[in-house]
Amino acid sequence: MQTWDVMRQDDLGNTFHVASHDSRISALAQVLVMESGVKHRQMYWVDGPPGPVVRTNRDLYLVFLHLGQEARAASWSLSAFLRALWKVSAPLSDQAQLEPDDVAAMFRAASTTPPADFDPAWSGKDLSLPGDEPDGYADWERVLLSQIADLEDFLIAPPGPQARFGVDAPRPPGSGARATPARWYNFDPATYLECAVAGSLGGWDAADGARVPLPAAPGEAPARSYVRTITTMTWDDLSRIAVCGQVYE
């Protein structure tokens, strides 16, 4: 069985073994969790067979689908998940392009670390995008914080039983401009994560049980999304993934 080891080097140059994982994604996720914690001078990395593990949109879809199922079982709120995601994305902020394994690890890390506290200043902050489309980590951060602020507003004015048909975020007087649409359809991590990838990258299969496509004609195979290779991703891609998590059905 293949294993991936998380290693640590302290500020004196000493190297230590931290943990072993049977998944490269889990090992990378642990590194992100440790790097996003209290500031330190130590360095962490993963030793083991090289990637990538996530090679296609189908691979990434399955990672997100399983993470959503775990989050549902753990009763995570979407706000808590997004605040954790914002926290663990910071160590990668200086990278213009991300490997799909790093993206999968970032979302995995968000499901294993305590979320950042909500900052009330986010609600009144101008989080609008400087341009027409998201561009870079700063805009990814604006998108996430906009969604987190919306979800905080929903605590005061809950979406109600018609939420699955779509409802606008309250955005009360004093709210700052936000980078995301006001319309929301998905309010839990499982639905958000599945729709995030299905809407932006595809990769789903009717056999997964998460999507209900139109019935296939007699003799035809069940519907599925096309599968394509993914080599690199950008923060712009992740911003679009996040918006699909909010509005895709």
Q: What's the CA gap between 210 and 69, in Å, rounded?
A: 10
45-82 pLDDT tens trace: 999 998 899 999 999 999 999 999 999 999 999 999 99
Q: What is the pLDDT along the chain (249 residues), one digit of tens a residue?
A: 799 999 999 888 899 999 999 999 999 999 999 999 767 678 999 999 988 999 999 999 999 999 999 999 999 999 999 999 999 999 999 999 999 999 999 999 999 999 999 999 999 999 999 999 999 999 999 999 999 999 999 999 998 888 889 999 999 999 999 999 999 999 999 999 999 999 999 999 988 989 877 676 777 766 778 999 999 999 999 999 999 999 999
Q: What is the residue extent of each domain of the chain?
A: 4-47, 57-212+223-247
For 16-49, b/e burial (b = at least 16 CB within 10 A) is eeeeebebbbbbbbbbbbbbbeeeeeeebebebe
- The pTM (predicted TM-score) of the whole model is 0.93
- Contact status, residue 193 vs residue 230, Cβ threshold 8 Å: no
Q: What's the CA gap between 91 and 130, in Å, rounded?
A: 23
* In the block, residue with structure tokens 């490269």: 24
